[in-house]
A and B are shown apart, each in its own frame.
Chain A
Amino acid sequence: MTMLPPENAGKKLGLVIDLDTCVGCHACAVNCKEWNTGGHSAPLPDDNPFGADASGVWFNRVHTYECGEDGNSRTVHFPRSCLHCENAACVAVCPTGASYKREEDGIVLVNEDICIGCKLCSWACPYGAREYDYDAGVMKKCTLCIDRIYNENLDEEDRVPACVSTCPANARHFGDLGDPNSDVSRLVAERGGVAPMEELGYKPVNRYLPPRPRRAGDDGGPQALQPVSPPDGSAADGLFRWIDRILSR
C-alpha cells in the first residue's frame, strides 16, 4: 500500500553521516555494492565494469565538493543515499504499491515482484537516491541493509548497514532517530545535524553533521613547523649537535 503509514513517534531507523570526518574514500559505496549485490535487491547490475562505458546500480555514491571561497574553502565529501523520508513522495506516487514505507521502523523499500518499472518514484525523489535496473526492469534503492540489521546469523556488532560497518573514519552512524535518547539522536543534537533540502518538506530521517568550524587562527593552509626543543646552548645541546654531525657524515 503506497499510502504512507500514519506518523508516529515510533522507530525511525536511519544514518547519521559526519561530513567533518568523511575522507571520501568510497569504501562505504563499495561495501554497499558488495553486500547488496547478494542481498535483498540482488543482483545489482554492473554492466561493462572495466570498459569505457561502465554502468550499474549503486545505492550509495560519494560526491566531492569545494565549499567556501577566497582561500577559505574546504573539501567536503558527501556520501549520498536514500534518506528514508518520513514524507516519502517516492512512496506516494507509486501507482502499484511496490514502493512502501515500513510502519515498524520507517525503512522505505521496493517490492520488486510488483514494480512495473514506470520510474515515477525516481522523478519524485529530490535526492536522486533511486536507480533503475534496466536488466530487471524494476527500480532499486538503499534498503538500509535490512538483511543485515535484523540478521541473527551475524554477530551483534555486525548488525549495522554495510556502509557503517566498513567506514574507516567512523564517519557513519546507524540508529533510531525517532528516539531522542539514542546515540545517533544525541550526536545530531550535539553537532547540529542537518537534513538536506529540508525546505522541500520530505522530512528526511537521515542527518548530516556539518564540518566543524576551523580553530581560531587556522586558515586551512600548512603551518610552519616548530622545532621540538629549540637550541639553548647547554652541554646536552652541544652533545646532540656533535652526534648529529657524526651521523650526518
Chain B
Amino acid sequence: MTVSGERASRGPLFPAATDTARRWLPPVAVFVAVLIAWEIYSSGGGFFNPIPAPSAIWAALFEEWTLLSSAALATIVEALGGLVIGTTAALIVGFLTSRWAIARDVLLPLAIGASTIPIIAVAPILNNWFGVLNPLSKMSMAALLVFFPVVINVTRGLVEVGPAKLELMRSYAADETTVMRKLRVPHMLPFFFTALKVGTTLAFIGAIVGEFFGGTSEVLGRVVLQAISGGKFDVAWAAIIIGAVAAILAYVAVTLIERAVIPWYWHIHDEPR
C-alpha cells in the first residue's frame, strides 16, 4: 500500500519506447552474440557440430520455403484449432463446476484424473479415432493438453473470490447471475489469461507430437522427421524454428488480448522499470 500521490503520477499503461528498448536490448544482444559465435564455430569446421550453422538454416529456410510455409500453416491451424477446442471445453466445465457444487464433485476429479494420463500415449488412439489424415486428430491432441491448466485456473478464479466480497453481494440481495457477472467472471479473467498463455505453447507441442504419429506429410512434425531421416538437418532446424516463432507470435497475441481485456490487471502488476 502506497500513498496516492506517488502512484497517481504513474505513467501511461504502455511504457515509453525508451523503456521498451532498455528492457529488450540485453536479451536481443545476447541472442545475436550467440548466433555470431555459433556461426564462427561452425564455419571453422569443428569436429563436433550438433546444430548446423545459422547461415545454413537460413539458406534451407529459403530453399524449402514452399514446403515449410504450407507445413507451418497446417500446424498452426491444428494448434490454434486445438487451443480453441480445449479452451472452450475448459470454460464450459469451469463454469459448470463453479455454478453447481455437484458438477464440481463429479467433473473436477475426472479432469484431474484425465491430467494424469500420459497424453503422448493417447496420440495414436486419437489418430485412430478421427482418422490419421484428419487435422481434427491433431487438434484434439492439442486440446487435451490445453484443457487441464485452463479448467483448473478458471475454476479457481470463479470459486475463490473470497467470503467478504460474496457477503457484500449478498447485502445487495444480488442474484447468482449478477454475482457471476459482476464478481466471479472479472475475478476469474487474470487466472484465465495466465492459463491461456501456458495453453498456447502447449497447443503447439500437442499438435506437433500428434503429427509424429502419422498423418499428412505437409506438417511441421513430419517435415522434421523426414528431413532428419534424409540427413537434412538444416531443413529440420528451419522447421523447428518456424514452429517456435509461430508459438511465440501466438503467445504475444494472447498477451495483447489480455492487456486489452484486463487493463486494470496490468495497471497493478506491470510495474514500471
Q: Are A and B physically bound partners?
A: no
Instruction: Name B residues whose Cβ lies closer than 8 Å to a Cβ of A.
Output: none
Instruction: Name A residues whose Cβ lies closer than 8 Å to a Cβ of B.
Output: none
